Structure 1
Amino acid sequence: MSGLLALLDDVATIAKVAATSIDDIAAGAAKAGAKAAGAVIDDAAVTPKYVAGFSPARELPIVGKIAIGSIRNKLLILLPAALLLSAFAPWLIVPLLMLGGSYLCFEGAEKIYHLFKPHAPYADGHLPATDDAEHLEASKIAGAVKTDFILSAEIMTIALAALPAGQPVWMQAIALAMVAVGITVIVYGGVALIVKADDVGLWLARVGRLAATRALGRGIVQIMPGFLAALMAVGTAAMIWVGGSILLHGLGELGLHAPYDWIHHQAVAAAAALPEFAGIVEWAVTAFFDGVFGLIIGMILIPIVAKIIDPAIHAVTRKA
């Protein structure tokens, strides 16, 4: 009987440890997902353009296929790569994170740059020389999945860096899988709602029995272009802010503390001047200077990418 009680006590202890581990995993996944906010917003802002021009009946199937490609990117390629990186080359995490941060800064700065100096329209290299709707759809999906791979790599790297140090591999794997699935559902669920919102609005405007319902439908149709523009603006700002923050923290990890310390000093001083709003003020000032730093880095990268990196990539791909 004492042996049975001891066994039950051991089972209870294991259950408590398991419950604590689940809480730790969930907390780690939530924190990691929050850290990836900039890339997530950008992902949601970029994806709707891939369904533009298709019939309404094909919009959700296209979004669904892109979502499946995204989850494959994250779970089958990026998650194992992140675990191998954590196990065998953790010293690479900060440089890779900074590389992803640089990409975010570049993407955001390029969007701002083209607002003031629009580039000439050019043929999308992914589009096939055919009017076949199936080929066009497949090409658009392939291009979206490739873009998603880059954004997903940033998300998974940011998530990996945000997890508590010293976690067992299985806990890291579960947390990263939770981030991968959760972010994919949020992003592509949100995209599905966005791309169908105007259709819902039109339907309400046409068949609504009440004047208020029809007015709501017309309002949805009218507000969607502005909403998409606002989403793009928020996505751009988030990219630059998060990218700048990643670079500043990375520089600190590599021993260059001066930029981060200066920004922190300015934020603390501003918070001290408005003690009743100290937390909000400190965050806002930090985010502002992170964004300014990210924008400067992004603007510096634009000519480097245009004059050096892009030509090098095209030369390699042509030879391949």
Structure 2
Amino acid sequence: MSTASGRAATDVATAPPGESPGSPAPRKTPTWSERWGRFDHKVVPYLLISPFFILFAVFGLFPLAFNGVVAFRRWSLRNPAADGWAGFDQFTRLIGDDRFWNALGNTFGIFFLSTVPQLFMALIIASLLNRRLRAQSFFRVGILLPYVTPIVASTLVFSQVFGRDYGLANWVLGFLGVTTELGGGIIIDGVDWRATKLTSWIAIALMVNWKWIGYNALLYLAAMQSIPKDVYEAAALDGAGAWTQLWKITVPMIRPMVLFTVVISTINGLQLFTEPMLFDTNPQSASGGTRGQFQTVGVLIYQTGWKNGNLGYAAAMSWALFLIIVVLASFNAFLANKLGGGKR
């Protein structure tokens, strides 16, 4: 008898009663611990991250979708009976609205005066803090203090600093001999910061830079900590100075963080609201100055929707701003990637 036939005979002989030879073995019932282990690996991770997605859907996706619906309707708080489908009429009106283009110009003006110097100064400060300094922890914590200061409190303080008659900024400029004639023979020390576009843009840009330079500097500093020190030592042996090391070594090696800060700064800069709103002598009007010289798109949306009661038109403005932010943020990320030596 062969080995195979002997093994088959053994299997037939040892088959349990009531079961035919060759039938599959009975399936083992999983224990409670096995079931819990399977549930813990397959279900629990989704339960742990579900609160974020639920809150994001309720407070993020739903308002965005609902705002999109409102943008195509004539929804007015002052005249509820006029509610109805408007189609693209709101967006067509937006193209010829001088107030919107004025606000968009102000937004871009403040954005360029704040974002470019902000990221440049943050990079320089981070490079300095990345070196061996005395009281290094003190300086690293100190540059973050403006960021943790409530934005309303800091904006109100800066509004007083840039006051026309008794502001600290004008006191310094007056001490340096800078004066401005307002008309009617009235001469003041310094300048009237709220009177013109350029001066108001500079004042608001300084508020934004004061708050965000330290935050971006710490982000850059955290990225610089991952760069090996021997790279700088080799560059120094080759004769590269500090400025050359910054732009030829540091910036290319922290390129992902640079892209992140460029995108975030673009989004925050184009959504500017609190600083121009509170910089006005009459914030309740949301007019951005007597002639709208520093009214941003965010302030105009608030004025249109909640002061004038035209929620449909305000929703159309917000969607237009959203598309502008997406386009400009993508362009800035692409440009920063190329300047940083990226291939993609």
Q: Rg bigger for which structure?
A: 2
TM-score for the superposition, normalised by structure 1 = 0.36
TM-score by length of 2: 0.34
Q: Which has the higher helix share?
A: 1
